[in-house]
Amino acid sequence: MTPQSVTSAVEVSGLVKRYGATVAVDGLDLTLRTGSVLALLGPNGAGKTSTVEVCEGFRTADEGTVRVLGLDPRTQGEQLRPRIGVMPQGGGGYPGVRADELLTLIATCSANPLDPAWLLDVLGLTGAVRTPYKRLSGGQQQRLSLACALVGRPELVFLDEPTAGMDPQARRLVWELINALRRDGVSVLLTTHLIDEAEELADHVVIVDSGRVVAQGSPQELTADEPDDQQLRFRTRHGLDTSLLLAALPEGLRVREPSAGSYLVEGRITPQVVSTVTSWCAQQGVLAEELMVAKRSLEDVFLELTGRELRG
């Protein structure tokens, strides 16, 4: 099968992965179109890393089929390996190796590598090239791991929580880099639990929970404006009695105070509704701050689907 005839970089169908009695992945389907970015979004323990490790060939699926660039990662790993880049969670290096040594070593495993010195420089590691791996900060180790994943000019990269432990500047840099990857035709499958990351980067978001897909689509599709499901938010003094406001508003709207001082009106928001809310605030003698009308955010969708409870 020639690369050109494969339109999906990754195809996962009915994937099941168990560790003893625990079912980490419970019938998961996903498709990554060639040249696009897919974000696998889910809380901790959702099965994201297990899914990615099966795609990379590090773990074997218990059920289901996985095709990466048209190949079976378990039985055709030799063929697949040069074509993919892998960034495992938590990076990876010899404790005593220097950054430039490690990247150069990985570069020798490829026929047409990027220049390791340039890659280290672009990822802000030039100052740390002679530092032993175990003394690098978490963010530096992550960036080095990303460099190792990309140095071989792969067609497809798997990035497992690529910005974990990074400061905002480094995170921005990695986002830029991922956008550049997509622009140059590289397919990207990344896992994250950061909603803004998924929103910013992904062409396609797959929300997973407890090993299953609970929703998928583009960020726009997932947060599509349903006329009856809009929100009006504002901030003001907390603990106000909202029953008067509710009475003044049209039928079918809901009012609540999800956190102290932060109010939410949900339903069909019209100019009338905005006026009613501001009048009520004036009557109460308080100023409505940060008043905005917005559709649901991806975060709202995510929390709705995966619950608000902490995952152990």
Partner 1 sequence: MTPQARFTPGTFTPAPGRGKLSRMFLAQSRMEILLTLRHGEQILLTVIIPVALLVALTLMTVIPMPDPRVGSATARVFALAILSSAFTGQAIALGFDRRYGILKRLASAQPRWLLVTGRVTAALAVVAIQIVILGGTALALGWRPPASGIAWAVLLIILGTLTFGALGVLLGGALRAEIVLALANIVWFVLLLIGGLALGVDSLPSGVAAVVQLLPSAALAEGLHAAVVNGTGPGIGPVLVLLAWGIGAAAVASKTTKLD
Structure tokens at 148: 């190792």
Under the binding rule (CB under 8 A), the answer on residue 177 touching partner 1 is yes
In three state form, how does the secondary structure of 14-68 look?
Answer: EEEEEECCEEEEEEEEEEEECCCEEEEECCCCCCHHHHHHHHHCCCCCCEEEEEE
Give yes or no for a contact between 42 and 193, defined as CB atoms under 8 angstroms apart.
yes
Q: Which span (78-86, 207-215, 229-237, 259-267) binds partner 1, by CB under 8 A? A: 78-86
Under the binding rule (CB under 8 A), the answer on residue 184 touching partner 1 is yes
- Identify which of residues 18 and 98 has a Cβ nearer to partner 1 in the complex: 98
Structure tokens at 302: 């995510």
Pattern 83-112, partner 1, x by CB under 8 A: xxxx-x-xxxxxxxx---xx-xxx-xxxxx
> What residues numbered 45-64 form the site for partner 1, per CB under 8 A?
56, 58
Give yes or no for a contact between 94 and 148, defined as CB atoms under 8 angstroms apart.
no
CA-based torsion, 300, 303, 308, 312: positive or negative = negative
3-class DSSP assignment, residue 87: strand
Provide the minimum distance between the beta carbon of 176 and partner 1 in the complex, in angstroms, as a whole number: 5
- Identify which of residues 29 and 101 has a Cβ nearer to partner 1 in the complex: 101
Under the binding rule (CB under 8 A), the answer on residue 117 touching partner 1 is no
Of 4, 5, 78, 259, the one binding partner 1 (CB under 8 A) is 78
- Name residues whose C-beta falls within 8 Å of residue 138's C-beta, 6 or more positions apart in sequence: 164, 165, 166
Sheet holding 254-259, edge to edge: 254-259, 262-267, 230-235, 289-294
Q: What is the DSSP string of 264-275?
A: EEEE---HHHHH
Provide the minimum distance between the beta carbon of 125 and partner 1 in the complex, in angstroms, as a whole number: 15
Provide the minimum distance between the beta carbon of 62 and partner 1 in the complex, in angstroms, as a whole number: 18
DSSP-derived secondary structure letter, 71: B
Provide the minimum distance between the beta carbon of 190 and partner 1 in the complex, in angstroms, as a whole number: 15
Pattern 185-224, partner 1, x by CB under 8 A: xx--------------------------------------
Burial environment of residue 203 by CB neighbours within 10 A (0 to 12, 13 to 18, 19 or more)? middle
- Identify which of residues 54 and 106 has a Cβ nearer to partner 1 in the complex: 106
Under the binding rule (CB under 8 A), the answer on residue 162 touching partner 1 is no
Under the binding rule (CB under 8 A), the answer on residue 116 touching partner 1 is no
Provide the minimum distance between the beta carbon of 219 and partner 1 in the complex, in angstroms, as a whole number: 20
Interface residues with partner 1 (CB under 8 A)?
56, 58, 78, 81-86, 88, 90-97, 101-102, 104-106, 108-114, 122, 133-134, 145, 148-150, 152-155, 176-177, 180-181, 183-186
